[in-house]
Structures are given as structure tokens and as C-alpha cells.
């Protein structure tokens, strides 16, 4: 058995004490450090929300500026509410444009002859199988 000298034992004791002190310091510093990083993340998230709110405010102010213009108000009344100025005549065109008719014909057919009086899911399956068998 090798005997260690007194100086080696003192050195190993100091090393042990150093690591114990270092461990205690790490334990004492870890929770505040964790709270710091959590709070930094919250601050960054709130700063992002504030930036979004400022952008929304700027958009709302720009929209308000538009509504202060009488010509914009007139154009919106014409487009949205179908208003006309005194002395003008408004014509409303009825009918379906050819573009819409051709698009509807290319769509999948809808099953019209599915049984009534059964649960909705059975009617759904019946409709799916009817459309699938047509193709």
C-alpha cells in the first residue's frame, strides 16, 4: 500500500473543498439565472406583440385617413352600398356569366338520388359511392 504524503492529502482536501464550494455556488446561481432567461423570453414576446400592435395602429390610422376623403367615401358608397348620385341611373345586370357556367360543368357531379330517412353518415357514404360509380 502506498502511503500518501501529508502534502498530497492537503492538496486533495483543498481540491474537494474547491469543488464543493463551486457546486454550492452553482446551486445558488442556477435559479436566478433561470428566472433571468425566462423573463428575457417573456420580454421578447411582449416586444413582438407591441410591434404588431403598432403596425395595426398604423394601418388603422391610414384607413382613417382614407375615410376622411369625401371622394373615397363616395366610391365606397357606390361599391359597397350600390348608391348613386342624384340624376344618375343605376343598371343591375342579371344572369350568369359564361365563365361561371363552364366552370360548374367541369365540377364533379352531385348525387341527387340518395335514400332519405337514414342517418347522415349513411347518406354521405351512399352519395360518395353513387358519384364514384358514375365515373
Q: What is the DSSP string of 74-96?
A: HHHHHHHH----TT-------S-
Contact 116, 125 (CB under 8 A): no
Q: What angle do CA 41, 46, 48 make, to 5 degrees?
A: 95
**What percentage of the chain has pLDDT greater than the value 70?**
78
Cell digits of residue 89 = 341611373
| Domain residue limits, the chain | 6-101
The residue ranking higher by pLDDT, 91 or 67, is 67
Mean pLDDT score, 15-34: 93
pLDDT band at 30 (very low <50, low <70, confident <90, very high): very high
Single pTM value for the model: 0.45
Per-residue confidence (pLDDT) for residue 119, from 0 to 100: 82
Mean pLDDT of the chain: 83
Q: Residue 92: which of 110, 78, 75 has the closest Cα?
A: 78
Amino acid at each position: 500500500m502506498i502511503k500518501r504524503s501529508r502534502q498530497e492529502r492537503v492538496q486533495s482536501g483543498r481540491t474537494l473543498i474547491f469543488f464543493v464550494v463551486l457546486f454550492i455556488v452553482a446551486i445558488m446561481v442556477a435559479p436566478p439565472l433561470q428566472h433571468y432567461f425566462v423573463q428575457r423570453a417573456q420580454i421578447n414576446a411582449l416586444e413582438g406583440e407591441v410591434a404588431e400592435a403598432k403596425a395595426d395602429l398604423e394601418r388603422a390610422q391610414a384607413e382613417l385617413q382614407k375615410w376622411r376623403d369625401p371622394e373615397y367615401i363616395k366610391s365606397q358608397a357606390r361599391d359597397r352600398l350600390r348608391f348613386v348620385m342624384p340624376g344618375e341611373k343605376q343598371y343591375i345586370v342579371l344572369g350568369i356569366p359564361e365563365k361561371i357556367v363552364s366552370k360548374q360543368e367541369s365540377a364533379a357531379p352531385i348525387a341527387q338520388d340518395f335514400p332519405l330517412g337514414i342517418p347522415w353518415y349513411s347518406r354521405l357514404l351512399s352519395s360518395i359511392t353513387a358519384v364514384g360509380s358514375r365515373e
